[in-house]
Structure 1
Amino acid sequence: MEPLLFVATIFLFIAPASSISFSEFIHPNFTASHVKFIDYGGSFLTSHNGTFKAAIVNTRSQQNSFYLCIIHVLSNTIIWSANRDTPISGSGKMNLTPKGIIISDENGNLKWSTPPLKSSVSALRLTEMGNLVLLDGFNGSLWESFHHPTDTIVIGQHLPAGESLSSAVSDYNLSTGDYSLTVGASDAELQWQGQMYWKLSMDTKAYVDSRYIVDYMAINRTGVYLFGNNGSAVVIRVVLPPSNFRIAKLDASGQFTVLRLSGSDLEQEFMGPDDGCQIPFICGRMGMCADDATSGSPSCSCPAGFHLASQNTSGCVPSDASHSLPVACNSTRKESLLNSSVVSYLRLGYGMDYFANHFFQPSTYDVNLSFCQELCSDDCSCLGIFFKNSSGSCYMLGNVLGSIMSSSTVDSDLVGYIKVLVGPTQADLNPNNSSSNQNQDFPLVALVLLPFTGFFLFAALGFLWWRRWKLHKSIDSKSGNPNTLSSGDLEAFYIPGLPQRFDYEELEVATDNFKNLIGSGGFGAVYKGILNDKTIVAVKKITNVGVQGKKDFCTEIAIIGNIHHVNLVKLKGFCAQGRQRLLVYEYMNHGSLDRILFGNGPVLEWQERFDIALGTARGLAYLHSGCEQKIIHCDIKPENILLHYHFQAKISDFGLSKLLTPEQSSLFTTMRGTRGYLAPEWLTNSAISEKTDVYSFGMVLLELVSGRRNCSPRSQSHSMDSNSSGVPSSSSSASALVYFPLLALEMHEQGKYLELADPRLEGRVTNEEVEKLVRIALCCVHEEPAIRPNMVSVVGMLEGGIPVGQPRVESLNFLRFYGRRFTEASMIEEENGQSDVTIIPRANASLTSTTTGFPTCFSYVSSHQISGPR
Structure 2
Amino acid sequence: MGFLFLFPTAFLSCALLVSGITYSEFVHPNFTASNLQYAENSGSFLTSRNGTFKAAIFNPGAQQTNFYLCVIHVASNTIIWSANRDDPISNSGEMYLTSEGITISDESGNPKWSTPAIPSPAYAMMLSEMGNLVLLDRSNNSLWESFQHPTDTIVMGQLFPVKASFSSAVSPTDLSTGDYSLTLSSSDLHLQWRGLLYWKLSMDTKAYINSNSMVEYMAINRTGLYLLGGNGTVIIQVALSLSDFWIATLESSGRFIVKSFSADDWMDDFVGPSDSCRIPFLCGTVGSCRDGSASNTCSCPSNFHSVSPNRTGCVPTDGSYSLYPTCNSTDHSTHLIPSVLSYLTIGYGYDYFGSQFSGPVRSRVNLTACQDLCSGDCSCLGFLYENSSGDCYWIKSYLGSLISDIQRGEDLLGYIKVLVGSSPAKPGVKNDQSTKFPLSALVLLPSSAFILLIVLGSLWWRRQRISRDRDMKAGQYNLPSPEEPDAFQIPGLPKRFDYKELEVATDHFRTLIGSGGFGAVYKGTLPDKAVVAVKKITNLGIQGKKEFCTEIAIIGNIHHINLVKLRGFCARGSTRLLVFEYMNRGSLDRILFGNGPVLEWQERFNIALGTARGLAYLHSGCEQKIIHCDIKPENILLHDHFQVKISDFGLSKLLGPEQSSLFTTMRGTRGYLAPEWLTNSAISEKTDVYSFGMVLLEIVSGRKNCLLRTQSHSLEEDSSGTRSSSSSGSGLLYFPLFALEMHEQGKYAELADPRLENRVKRQDVEKLVRVALCCVHEEPSLRPNMAIVVGMLEGKIPLGHPRMESLNFLRFYGRRFTEASVIAEQENEENVLLYSQANACPTSTTSSSRKSMSYISSQQVSGPR
CA distance, structure 2, for counterparts of residue 812 and residue 72 of structure 1: 48
- 1:573 paired residue number: 570
Aligned to 2:580: 587
**What residue number does 1:433 align with?**
440
**Does the 8 Å CA contact 1:365/1:394 hold for their aligned counterparts?**
yes
- What's 2:777 paired with? 774
Counterpart pick for 1:236 among 222, 240, 244? 240
**Offset of 1:509 from its aligned partner?**
0.9
* Residue number in structure 1 paired with 2:484: 497
Give the letter for the 2:170 counterpart. Answer: V
In 2 relative to 1, CA 769–435 (structure 1 residues): closer, same or farther, beyond 3 Å? same
Q: From the superposition, tell whether residues 773 and 87 of structure 1 become closer, same or farther in structure 2 (CA, over 3 Å).
A: farther
Q: Residues of 2 paired with 1:376 and 1:734: CA distance?
A: 76
The residue that corresponds to 2:113 in the other structure is 111
Matched, 1:178 2:206: no
- Confirm whether residue 712 of structure 1 aligns to residue 708 of structure 2: no
- Taking structure 1 as the reference length, the TM-score comes to 0.56
Deviations 1:267-318 (Å, cap 9, x if unpaired)? 9987998999887545532346799xxxx99997755533455999943322
Question: What is the deviation of 1:175?
Answer: 0.9
CA contact (8 A) 1:25 1:123 kept: no
SS of 2:510 mapped into structure 1: coil
Q: Structure 1 unaligned segments of length 5 or more: list them.
A: 1-17, 220-224, 473-484, 543-548, 625-632, 661-665, 722-730, 781-793, 799-808
Alignment of 1:551-562 (within 5 A): 556-557=544-545, 559-561=547-549
TM superposition shift of 1:100? 3.8
Q: CA–CA distance in 2 between the matches of 1:516 and 1:332?
A: 62
1:44-443 maps to which residues of 2 (within 5 A)? 45-47=45-47, 54-56=55-57, 66-70=67-71, 80-87=81-88, 94-98=95-99, 100-103=101-104, 111-113=113-115, 116=118, 121-126=122-127, 132-135=133-136, 137=138, 145=146, 150=151, 166-179=167-180, 226=224, 235-237=239-241, 252=252, 281-287=281-287, 302-307=300-305, 314-321=312-319, 323-326=321-324, 340=338, 342=341, 344-347=343-346, 377=374, 400-403=398-401, 413=409, 419-423=415-419, 433-434=440-441
Aligned to 1:518: 513
User: Residue type of the partner of 1:84?
Assistant: R
Taking structure 1 as reference, are residues 59 and 554 closer, same or farther at Cα in structure 2, changes over 3 Å only? Answer: closer
Q: Could you tell me how far apart the structure 1 residues matched to 2:393 and 2:650 are?
A: 23
CA contact (8 A) 2:287 2:314 kept: yes
Question: What code does the residue aligned with 1:305 have?
Answer: N
Q: Residues 522-562 of structure 1, C-alpha deviation per residue, up to 9 Å, x if partnerless?
A: 564222446679998754457xxxxxx8x656664464246
CA contact (8 A) 2:168 2:179 kept: yes
Percent identity at matched positions? 35
Q: 1:317 corresponds to which letter in structure 2?
A: V
Q: Superposition RMSD on alpha carbons, in Å?
A: 8.0
After TM superposition, list the pairs within 5 Å mapping 1:471-486 onto structure 2. 485=475
Q: Secondary structure at the match of 2:175?
A: coil
- CA gap 1:128/1:402 in 2 versus in 1, 3 angstroms: same
Q: Which runs of 5+ in 2 are unaligned?
A: 1-17, 212-216, 422-432, 488-495, 557-565, 594-598, 715-725, 754-761, 790-803
Assess if the C-alpha contact under 8 Å between 1:364 and 1:395 holds in 2: yes
Q: Give the equivalent residue in structure 2 for 1:824.
A: 819
Residues 650 and 257 of structure 1: is their aligned pair in 2 closer, same or farther, counting only changes over 3 Å?
closer
Following TM superposition, by how much is the alpha carbon of 1:49 offset from its aligned partner in structure 2, in angstroms?
Answer: 9.9
2: distance between equivalents of 1:463 and 1:387? Answer: 25
Contact 1:640 1:868 in 2 (8 A): no
Q: Which AA in structure 2 matches 1:433?
A: S
Question: Is residue 650 of structure 2 the alignment partner of residue 651 of structure 1?
Answer: yes
Contact 2:361 2:394 in 1 (8 A): no
Q: 2: distance between equivalents of 1:856 and 1:364? A: 54
Secondary structure of the residue aligned to 2:707 is coil
What does residue 670 of structure 2 align with? Answer: 676
> Is contact 2:123–2:137 with CA below 8 Å preserved after alignment?
yes
* Higher RCO, 1 vs 2 (CA within 8 Å, ≥6 residues apart): 2
Moved more, 307-316 or 21-30: 307-316
TM-score, scaled to structure 2:
0.57
Looking at CA atoms only, which structure, 1 or 2, has the larger radius of gyration? 1
Does the 8 A contact of 2:610 with 2:645 survive in 1? no
Amino acid at match of 2:484: G
Q: Deviations over 1:651-703 (max 9, x none)?
A: 2255642399xxxxx9999989776279999x9xx9x9997999987874654
Amino acid at match of 1:319: T
**Alignment partners' CA distance in 2, 1:73 and 1:668:** 65
Whether the 8 Å contact between 1:538 and 1:586 is mirrored in structure 2 is: yes
Counting only pairs closer than 5 Å after superposition, residues 596-675 of structure 1 correspond to structure 2 as 603-604=606-607, 609=612, 612=615, 615=618, 650-652=649-651, 656-658=655-657
Q: Confirm or deny that 1:32 pairs with 2:39.
A: no
Tell me the SS of whatever aligns to 1:512.
Answer: coil
- Residue type of the partner of 1:497? E
Q: Deviations over 1:379-401 (max 9, x none)?
A: 98775677999999999766644
Task: Quote how far apart the aligned CAs of 1:324 are.
Answer: 4.0
Report the CA distance shift for 1:558/1:538 in structure 2 as closer, same or farther (over 3 A): farther
For the residues of structure 2 that align with 1:181 and 1:135, how far apart are their CA atoms? Answer: 29
Letter in 1 for 2:115: S
For 1:714-793, what aligned pairs fall within 5 Å after superposition?
Answer: 714=707, 734=729, 739=734, 774-775=777-778, 777=780
Q: How far apart, CA to CA, are the structure 2 residues paired with 1:328 and 1:669?
A: 57
Counterpart among 519, 527, 552 of residue 522 in structure 2: 527
Supply the distance in 1 between the matched residues of 2:807 and 2:54 (Cα, whole angstroms).
Answer: 67
Q: How far apart, in 1, do the equivalents of 2:552 and 2:297 lie?
A: 43
Q: Which amino acid aligns with 1:572?
A: F
After superposition, the Cα gap between the structure-2 partners of 1:588 and 1:677, relative to the gap in structure 1 and judged at 3 Å, is farther
Q: Specify the SS of the correspondent of 1:839.
A: coil
Structure 2 distance, partners of 1:367, 1:297, is: 37
Would you say the 8 A contact 2:36–2:91 is kept in 1? no
Give 1:564 shift.
6.1
Query: Contact 1:33/1:94 (CA < 8 Å) preserved in 2?
Result: yes
Question: Structure 1 residues 813 and 191, CA, compared in 2 at 3 Å: closer, same or farther?
Answer: same
Number of aligned residues:
737
In structure 2, how many angstroms separate the alpha carbons of the residues matched to 1:558 and 1:354? 29
The answer on whether the counterparts of 1:41 and 1:57 sit within 8 Å (CA) in structure 2 is: no
